[in-house]
Amino acid sequence: MDQLITEKLSKTYGGSSMALQDVSFSAPSSGILALIGRNGAGKTTLVRILATELAPTSGSASINGIDVVREDKRLRERIAIVPQEARTISWMTPKQSTLTYLMWRGFEYSEAKKRAEESLARLKLDKYADTLNRKLSGGTKRKALAAMVLASEADVIFLDEPTTGLDPISRRDFWEILRELAKDRFIFLTTHYLEEAEQLADTLAVLGGGRLVAVGTVSSIRGRIRYQYSINLPAGSPVPGVAQGEVTTGRSGEVQILTNEDEAFAISKKLSVAGSRFSIRPVSLDDIFFQLVGESTQGEQEAAAPGADGGWSA
Amino acid sequence: MRRSYSSQLVAAILVNSVYEMKNYPINLVNTVLSPLSFLVVIDFVSKGALIGQAIEGGLIMSMFQSGMSLQGDISHLKNDFKLQDMLVSSPASPAVYVIGMAASEIIYNLPALAILVILGGIYIHPGAFQAVELTAALGLMFLTSITIGFMFATLSSDIVQSFAWSRLLTTIFTAITPVYYPITYIPLPFRYLAYLSPTTYVAEIMQSVAGSLKLGEASVISDWLIIGGLAAVLLVVVSRNARWKEA
């Protein structure tokens, strides 16, 4: 099966600032892989290395058996990227942008024009095809960028935070585009939005402080974390004793108990008997993220201590 | 799939000149007017005596401006639109990208060049050999300016900085230096400073070819050697140091 593989991938900027540290994982290169992490977690660095824009300091990576460093020219035949902060060129139209992007990839004019028109129609952008990019809304501009890579022959597409700054409706529109793109290609997506990752990702990777914290399907990651259930109590409710788990109180007094399945069952039984109001659900990706990244940050602090033996990978 | 280099070349021309001129014609007016504005002033002030030098100056300025525009345009596309990042992760050829962008600057300047060439035909009326010499000198000017422009573009990370450099270099190398007037107008102690500018050598060659500046054969040959050598050195420096992608 086609795979994305990284082996102890590290990147240091300016000799001291370590953006990525020993990132090792493998994942199927099909569907959507969502890479999540906080600002500065190393998401963009990882994307840029995989997209052959940036050389790693050490380690290796390959996509579908093609090495990203040694065979970069070969890999570029099969990849396309919409970088973070990419913008449509203001003096051009979506059609002109897509056409010229394809020509830059080496398509003849007539073929590029045909593909550009098809791609814009597929993303329902045909009515904006001849409108200047600067006159388009933020969401439509993002779609126009997606149309450019969709029109290409690339079967691996990197999208670095493609929905940042979009309103919720435009974001959901964009998800449809991503699902469309993922029908016949591998989409490597970075995002800040956990809901987005949960909705779209076939594979999820979590970066924290330049290290890989977890990788797998959302359900497999959920199974790997310490607490799989969340019990929520309204403000002022009596809080039962929790043998295994974490209890946090929100600003307005609501209580969240993160715990394992057995404890969740026991607690909910006690609350039911006491007639308390509560809700119980499997942990959300938000909860998982906070657990994983929290542990990762703690790990970093331990690693920074003299004599500590830090570093782990999936 | 078989990839077409000519398509890549045409893409650069479409993006950086054709679509820009088509969608924002005001840029075209600006490009045409800037070399012509000095020409008009010099023609009026000299009561027509320096029209030949002014036309040659306009041609040199136009060529030099092309290189400086390349600097601003590449920086703009790279830093503001992240186009270069998109192209790095694609089969686009870096060399064809640069050649295409350079060609796009010439295309962008074609209207101004066409007017200046027509004026040159009327007021300078060079013979065939002189026309070849003038074209060669302008070609070397273009090569020098695009290498300077490309070098600055690869180093620049901010478009405001790029445009400031572009304006500064154009002013220094085409308005202050003896491009629109003969070098003999500069008092001697300061005349040597003019030789720090590559445009001075091209201006001397062109003024000499057109007969408006009397230069010895040795001076003309040394001008050709200096501008040719400079263009070659800059080309080597740029090809070794230009950054298509980050290390």
Contacts of B8 in chain A (CB under 8 A): 103-104, 106
The pLDDT assigned to A56 comes to 95
Contacts of A55 in chain B (CB under 8 A): 246-247
The pLDDT assigned to A1 comes to 56
Residue B114 has pLDDT above 70, yes or no: yes
Q: What is the ipTM of this complex?
A: 0.85
Residue B35 has pLDDT above 80, yes or no: no
What confidence tens digit (pLDDT) does each residue in B195-205 have? Answer: 999 999 999 99
**Separation of CA A203 from chain center:** 9
For β-strands A186-191 and A31-37, DSSP reports them as: parallel
- Residues A236, A104 within the same domain: no
- Residues A22, A101 within the same domain: yes
Between B172 and A290, the more confident residue is B172
What confidence tens digit (pLDDT) does each residue in A58-107 have? Answer: 999 999 999 999 999 999 999 999 998 899 999 999 999 999 999 999 99
The pLDDT assigned to B83 comes to 92
Residues of B with CB under 8 A from a CB of A: 1-5, 7-8, 10-12, 14-15, 19-20, 23-24, 77, 80-83, 85-92, 97, 245-247
Asked if the structure places residue A309 within a domain, the reply is no
The DSSP string of B140-207 is HHHHHHHHHHHHHHHH---HHHHHHHHHHHHIIIIIISTTSS-GGGS-HHHHHHHTTSHHHHHHHHHH
Mean pLDDT of A286-294: 77
- Residues A100, A204 within the same domain: yes
CB contact under 8 A, B81 and A77: no
Task: Provide CB contacts within 8 A for A192, sequence distance 6+.
Answer: A36, A39, A161, A164
Asked if the structure places residue A311 within a domain, the reply is no
- Tokens 């082996």 correspond to A7
Domain housing A47: 3-222
Task: Report the share of chain B in percent with pLDDT over 70.
Answer: 99
The pLDDT assigned to A311 comes to 23
- Residues A110, A230 within the same domain: no
CB contact under 8 A, B81 and A55: no
- Residues A118, A206 within the same domain: yes
Q: A160, A194, A222 — which closes off a domain?
A: A222
The domain spanning residue A163 has which CATH number?
Answer: 3.40.50.300
Whole-angstrom Cα distance, residue A73 to residue B36?
Answer: 45
Test mutation, B80, B90, B93, B98, chain A, max A CBs within 10 A? B90
What confidence tens digit (pLDDT) does each residue in A19-70 have? Answer: 999 999 999 999 999 999 888 889 999 999 999 999 999 999 999 999 999 9
Asked if the structure places residue A275 within a domain, the reply is yes
Q: A195, A222, A249 — which closes off a domain?
A: A222
C-alpha dist (Å) from residue B16 to A83, A121, A129, B19: 20, 26, 19, 7
Asked whether the beta carbons of B60 and B199 are under 8 A apart, the reply is yes
Residue B235 has pLDDT above 70, yes or no: yes
What confidence tens digit (pLDDT) does each residue in A152-171 have? Answer: 999 999 999 988 878 888 88
The domain spanning residue A295 has which CATH number?
Answer: 3.30.70.980
- Residues A151, A239 within the same domain: no
Q: A183, A202, A222 — which closes off a domain?
A: A222
Asked whether the beta carbons of B61 and B197 are under 8 A apart, the reply is no
Q: How many domains does chain A have?
A: 2
Choose the closest CB to A105 out of B20, B92, B246: B92
What confidence tens digit (pLDDT) does each residue in B173-228 have? Answer: 888 888 888 888 888 888 888 999 999 999 999 999 988 888 888 999 999 999 99
CB contact under 8 A, A81 and B247: no
- Residues A51, A128 within the same domain: yes
Nearest-by-CA chain A residue for B24: A91
Taking the CA of residue B72 and the nearest CA in chain A, the distance in Å comes to: 15
- Residues A201, A129 within the same domain: yes
Whole-angstrom Cα distance, residue B140 to residue B200?
Answer: 12
Contacts of B91 in chain A (CB under 8 A): 73, 76-77, 105-106
Q: How is residue A3 written in tokens?
A: 């795979």
Residue A184 has pLDDT above 50, yes or no: yes
Mean pLDDT of A269-294: 84
- Residues A218, A168 within the same domain: yes
The pLDDT assigned to A296 comes to 56
What confidence tens digit (pLDDT) does each residue in B47-67 have? Answer: 888 888 889 999 999 899 888
Task: Report the share of chain A in percent with pLDDT over 70.
Answer: 93
Choose the closest CB to A55 out of B12, B77, B247: B247
- Give the number of beta-carbon pairs within 8 Å between A and B: 110
Taking the CA of residue A290 and the nearest CA in chain B, the distance in Å comes to: 32
User: If you average pLDDT over every residue of chain B, what do you get?
Assistant: 88
